[in-house]
Structure 1
Amino acid sequence: MLHRHEYKDLVWVDLESPTVDEIRSIVEEFGIDTMVADELLSPTLRPHTERYGDYLYLVLHFPTLRKNKATAVVPEQEVDFIIGKNFIVTTRYEELASFVEFRKVFEVNAALAENHFPDNSFDIFLLLAKRLYRTVDVEIDEVRETLESIEAAIFNGQEKEMVVSLSRAGRDILNLKQALDPHQDVLSSLVALTAEFTGTEYVSRVRAIESMYYRSRKHITSIWQTLSELRETNNSLLSTKQNEVMKTLTIMAFVTFPLMLISSVFGMNTKILPIVGRDNDFWIIIGIMFIATFGMFYYFRHKHWL
């Protein structure tokens, strides 16, 4: 799907899952290199940035924790930027809310012909990049809120149920980290290319985007450490509970052992059995069992095992 927007001398073409015909149209209009055109047809494995003559080609992968229509987790979304002197082409393979919202902003300002709205392709790129990194911060905040809920549940006695929740949170943080890690090299290269492409005018603004990236990565490191602490705490509490259960079962086995032993002894098929056959022999045997059981309980209490 192709969305075309114009404002003064600037043209923005936003492609979503582009077709061959749509790619061919921008190749003819903007003189896009065939190698770049081929990359636009399908997602690229690794983020990168390059300069092709009078335009820059930039590929970034942004993490997303949402689910697609098939309810499968989509770990990241690719966004391609082609930044020319008076045009910018963006390519995506899924719908992104940041682009939908920015298209509306662009259309409104183009219709009103507001002079304060930027008419430079690099300005549009920077505005879109800021929105994308803010979306990453929203994703990070969602994971942080999830961890807070998990923490409350852990200390509310739901350690067993939180094992799966902790694993899912770990998967989300890992997706965030894996998607953002390659941005460091790409943004560093972009700073150098920006100086060549636009002069020093936009270098500081690209560094501001780079700072947003480093802040996001710092937050990811923070929530990863929180996850590790919660997982360790949860494992400790689970282990303590399991040990308490095993301790109780072991004590019960020791307590019932004298009862089984006494009942087995007096159930033996021998000619002579002490007590058996006397008056009140049943109550005497029950009394012996009771005294033995009480003695075991007293011993365990004295040792502070109960």
Structure 2
Amino acid sequence: MLSTYKHKNLTWVDLEDPTADEVKSLMQKYYIHPAVAEELLKPTIRPRVDAYKNFIYLILHFPIFDNNKKTSISYEVDFVMGKNFLIAAHYKEISLFHEITKLFEVGSILGEEQLVKNSGVLSTFIIKQLYEFALRQLDHIQLKINDIEENIFKGHEKEMVAYISYLRRDTLDFQRAIHSHESILNSFKIIGEKFFNKDFVHYANVILGNLDRVKTLMENCVATIESLHNTNDSLLTDKVNDIMRTLTIVSFITFPLMLFAALFGMSNLISTPIVGMKGDFWIITGIMFVSASSLLFFFKRRKWI
């Protein structure tokens, strides 16, 4: 779907899931290189920035949370920036781009010249909004971290194993999406300064600052999740060790008692003491009880239970 927005000499073309016909018409209208036009038709794996004679081509991937997959997925945005036009191509519908177009229209109406100064400045505005959106996603991750932490210390360690795994995968995918942004944006700053003017450096530094905020918060989230993962593992291990220790002690106590009872149960095969005496059942039961109590006292004294 192709939508066009204009303000004075600047044209912004919002291209959502572009078709071959739409890309062909833009290629002819704005003299886009055929190689770039070909890449606009489908998402690419690697982000990059390229300088052409009459435009700059920038590819970036941004993390967007997918509720069905329960993790962040890479959302690609391609920017083709000419002197008086910007083509922003993306391949999935998200509400954020509708918000950005409204901000552009409002800025145009209010005469905010800085917003629509040139396509480079407009592209940095869009990138800034995408980073703001990423920060909102990190807020959701932080809420999940708080929820996991609360449940861990409520004794729900076992249930939290799956939740922590999902969250670790989510943060890993988030990091992967923005991993190369810093080097790409630094190259974009150098190319943009030559293509537009020296003022572009300021706008490029602003989005680099936004990126730094995202990366810092992301690193904090990752460190917290790893700490919670280790804590949860330790608590689960302690629980398992307690269970194993209890089972071992029970086995150690019951085995000699079972052997003792089995020996006295062989009275029809061998001659056994006590059996046949008056109150022999209670004597044998008493011996077993005293033995078990002695073992329990011994374990308690050694602080094994």
The interval holding the TM-score normalised by the smaller chain is over 0.9
What is the CA-CA distance between 1:56 and the residue it aligns to? 0.9
Residues 1:272 and 2:271 aligned together: yes
Matched residue SS, 1:90: strand
1:251 paired residue number: 249
Which amino acid letter does the alignment assign opposite residue 298 of structure 1?
A: F
> Could you tell me which residue of structure 2 aligns to residue 31 of structure 1?
31
Which residue in the other structure is 1:293 paired with?
A: 292
| Secondary structure at the counterpart of residue 161 of structure 1 | helix
Deviation at 1:116, TM superposition (A): 2.2
1:231 counterpart residue number? 229
Instruction: Find the residue that maps to 1:167 and give its secondary structure.
Output: helix
Instruction: After TM superposition, give the deviation of residue 104 of structure 1 in Å.
Output: 2.2
How far apart are 1:109 and its partner, in Å? 4.8
Letter in 2 for 1:286: T
Q: Which residue of 2 aligns with 1:139?
A: 137
CA distance in 2, matches of 1:249, 1:21: 72
2:213 is aligned to: 215
My pick for the range that moved more, 11-20 or 274-283, is 274-283
Which one-letter code corresponds to 1:114 in the other structure? L
Check conservation: 2:14, 2:89, Cα contact below 8 A: yes
Is structure 2 residue 40 aligned with structure 1 residue 40?
A: yes
Task: Give distance in 1, aligned partners of 2:31 and 2:15.
Answer: 16
Query: Which amino acid counterpart does residue 5 of structure 2 have in structure 1?
Result: H
Q: How many residues align?
A: 302
Return 5+ residue gaps in structure 1 as ranges: none
User: Secondary structure of the equivalent of 2:110?
Assistant: coil
**Alpha-carbon distance between aligned partners in 2 of 1:189 and 1:261, rounded to the nearest angstrom:** 80
Q: State the Cα distance separating 1:291 from its structure 2 match.
A: 1.2
Equivalence for 1:169: 167
CA distance in structure 2 between the partners assigned to 1:72 and 1:300 by the alignment: 48
TM-fit CA distance, 1:182 = 1.2
Contact 1:258 1:293 in 2 (8 A): no
Point out 4+ residue stretches in structure 1 off by more than 4 angstroms: 71-74
Distance 2:71 2:171 in 1: 13
Residue of structure 1 in register with 2:111 after alignment: 115
Residue 295 of structure 1 and its aligned partner are, at CA, apart by: 1.2
Determine the structure 1 residue equivalent to 2:283. 284
- 1:5 corresponds to 2:1: no
Give the residue type in structure 1 aligned to 2:54: D
- Residue in 1 that maps onto 2:154: 156
Mapped pair 1:198 → 2:172: no
TM-score (norm 2): 0.94
- What RMSD in Å do the two structures reach over aligned CA positions? 1.5
| Contact map agreement 1:258 1:289 (CA 8 A) in 2 | no
Identical-residue share of aligned pairs (%)? 38
- AA in 2 matched with 1:26: L
CA contact (8 A) 2:63 2:75 kept: yes
Letter in 1 for 2:37: A
The one-letter code sitting in structure 2 at the alignment partner of 1:263 is: A
CA shift in 2, pair 1:109/1:137, >3 Å: closer
